Structure 1
Amino acid sequence: MSKPSDSKSGVKGVDRRSLFLMGGSAVAAAAVVPLAGTEAAADESQSERVKARYKETDHVKNFYRVNRY
């Protein structure tokens, strides 16, 4: 089998290897952008951070019963 030649059709395109290299560099560039951002601020106040959150409700008890914890 012979490979088709770009010179015959007169159309110059991007070959498969170049396409994947461009795609890989685009992914790398997109991954760097979020790292350059500022530090995230906390949405909770100090009192919200220390309050009790776990409550053993009937729903939780049922989950433990079904899963035998």
Structure 2
Amino acid sequence: VFFVIDSNDRKRITLATGDLIDLSKKLSSRSSLSILIFIAMNKQDLSTSFKIEGFNVILTLPKTKSDE
């Protein structure tokens, strides 16, 4: 699964985080297979974009049953 986040839209980062957590939960509950989620952050070239280091904290996903 590819999940793209607009790193220049700070207001939607929280919304995207919630969507990503919901997606992760749905995928883990529907399949016994591990499904990778690739997170791409576009617009990193803009000086006003949210930097990658900040995403490490904000986009921390909860552990799924396969991680435990």
Q: Same fold (TM over 0.5)?
A: no
Scaled by the length of structure 1, what TM-score is found?
0.32
Scaled by the length of structure 2, what TM-score is found?
0.33
Q: Which has the higher contact order (CA 8 A, sep 6+)?
A: 2
Quick check: which has more Rg, 1 or 2?
1
Greater percentage in strand: 2
Greater percentage in helix: 1
